[in-house]
């Protein structure tokens, strides 16, 4: 079990640029979640995949944000035309299908917008 892996760990970019993050879940997990966390706050849910299907999206996920999980394995989260307010830690988590199974989090990608 290699755990949930996220890349890159850190991303610094200028306002207006596009960024893409990658998440590799635990291999046997069908469910994949994206969260955003700012300093002093808990993670906020962004979106959820069951295999390759994106089944739920938060109102936090503006149209500048898009997530994919094309083959039901790894997932990408893209932010277009980044804004200062996008600076945060972006966390990915995965879980199995079984009821009440815990989510396992990756170490996150810290995004800083200059």
Partner 1 sequence: GQSLEQPSEVTAVEGAIVQINCTYQTSGFYGLSWYQQHDGGAPTFLSYNALDGLEETGRFSSFLSRSDSYGYLLLQELQMKDSASYFCAVREGGNNDMRFGAGTRLTVKP
Q: Which residues bind to partner 1, rule: CB under 8 A?
A: 4, 31, 33, 35, 40-45, 48, 50, 55-56, 91, 93, 95, 100-108
The least distance separating partner 1 from the CB of residue 23, rounded to whole angstroms, comes to 12
Beta bridge partners of 11: 111
Nearest to 89 by CA among 107, 114, 67, 69: 107
Residue 56 backbone class (left: φ over 0; alpha: ψ -120 to 50; beta: rest): beta
**CB nearer to partner 1: pick between 76 and 96:** 96
The least distance separating partner 1 from the CB of residue 21, rounded to whole angstroms, comes to 14
The least distance separating partner 1 from the CB of residue 95, rounded to whole angstroms, comes to 6
């Amino acid at each position: 079990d290699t755990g949930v892996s996220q890349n890159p760990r850190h991303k610094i970019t200028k306002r207006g640029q596009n960024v893409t993050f990658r998440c590799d879940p635990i291999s046997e997990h069908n469910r994949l979640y994206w969260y955003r966390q700012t300093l002093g706050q808990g993670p906020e849910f962004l979106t959820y995949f069951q295999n390759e299907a994106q089944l739920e999206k938060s109102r936090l996920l503006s149209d500048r944000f898009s997530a994919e999980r094309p083959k039901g394995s790894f997932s990408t989260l893209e932010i277009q035309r980044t804004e200062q307010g996008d600076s945060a830690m972006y966390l990915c988590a995965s879980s199995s299908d079984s009821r009440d199974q815990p989510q396992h989090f990756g170490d996150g990608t810290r995004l800083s917008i200059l």
